[in-house]
A = this chain, B = another copy of it.
């Protein structure tokens, strides 16, 4: 069943095959493939011809073993369902691919225990860098990363304890800005809607800062509704319906994200409430859909693509150290819902 020298599973051409066909040494083929400078034109032509004939593709696994470095970047995100992370990933990818790197994906499902396994798994491939979501990583993760001294960039948050560089926004500042935006426009009976038991943690930071600033401005937060289900428009719609039933005098709502806010807006429209006249709606993230709504959604726009791109750029440029902490800021979109 098995020969002494077990037939290779695949008959993928190797450096040796190309070298034999071209009548040169393996190392010369290697040099040609990597575009080394000290190779004669004749050699280059012979090798390229042979390589094409055999359909040779360099084996990066072997190369990575020898050189102790790969062109893979490990990317760890909590979820792909939430619209935010695909956009971040898009930003990461755009920079990585421009530098011949590629992303290896890990999804934690917001489970810290699982995250440790995911990181371990990804690290076992000796990636040239790692992008983690959120601050305050588990000590186990910190140890593993340190043991291989893999460069790390953490995204989303600029607050909290960071292992490596960080790229994101200040969620406390965002919460305060939301409060200011509402109060400045005359709203005085605000509420808050979140989802999924406030995962990730940074949404809680926003809510607390929001409540704090509201109190400071003399318009205290009157109601808070944190749903159990993950964020979605239907969930946001249900949350607002419940809030208004309990207290019809509420005049505005700040949402943990735009998915929820859109649902809230739909509830208002279906219930015949004028927006922003009877109910102000303020979202978070600034998704493209918002501006197409019958009443354009006002939202705190976050630079999701830029976060990913910046994080990747830090890795590429070798600046993934704790010294770099980049706050990309946020901005209020030109909506009409508050």
Chain A interface residues (CB < 8 Å from chain B): 8-10, 12-13, 55, 57-62, 64-65, 68-70, 72, 79-81, 83, 85-87, 89-90, 93-94, 97, 100, 102-107, 118, 120-126, 143-144, 147-149, 232-234, 236-237, 259, 262-263, 266, 269-270, 288-289, 291-294
Most buried by B among A69, A100, A143, A294: A294
Q: Which residue of B lies closest to A62 (CB)?
A: B65
Contact across chains for A292 and B105 when beta carbons are under 8 A apart: no
What's the Cα separation between A72 and B122 when bound, in Å? 10
Chain B contacts for A60, CB-based, 8 A? 124-126
Chain B contacts for A62, CB-based, 8 A? 65
Q: Which of B89, B120, B233 contacts A57 (CB 8 A)?
A: B120
Chain B contacts for A86, CB-based, 8 A? 80-81, 83, 85-86, 89
Contact across chains for A9 and B80 when beta carbons are under 8 A apart: no
Contact across chains for A103 and B105 when beta carbons are under 8 A apart: yes
What's the Cα separation between A69 and B8 when bound, in Å? 11
Q: Which of B87, B232, B291 contacts A234 (CB 8 A)?
A: B291
Contact across chains for A102 and B122 when beta carbons are under 8 A apart: yes
Chain B contacts for A13, CB-based, 8 A? 147
Chain B contacts for A90, CB-based, 8 A? 79-81, 107
What's the Cα separation between A262 and B290 when bound, in Å? 11
Contact across chains for A292 and B263 when beta carbons are under 8 A apart: yes
Contact across chains for A104 and B107 when beta carbons are under 8 A apart: no
Instruction: Give 5 closest A-B pairs by Cβ, nearest first.
Output: A233-B292, A86-B86, A80-B90, A60-B124, A55-B147
What's the Cα separation between A263 and B293 when bound, in Å? 8
A-B contact pairs, 5 of them (CB 8 A): A12-B148, A59-B124, A60-B126, A80-B90, A270-B294
Chain B contacts for A85, CB-based, 8 A? 86
**Min distance, Cβ A40 to any Cβ of chain B, angstroms:** 26
Contact across chains for A107 and B97 when beta carbons are under 8 A apart: yes
What's the Cα separation between A107 and B269 when bound, in Å? 39
Contact across chains for A100 and B121 when beta carbons are under 8 A apart: yes
Contact across chains for A102 and B106 when beta carbons are under 8 A apart: yes
Contact across chains for A57 and B147 when beta carbons are under 8 A apart: yes
What's the Cα separation between A90 and B62 when bound, in Å? 30
Chain B contacts for A263, CB-based, 8 A? 292
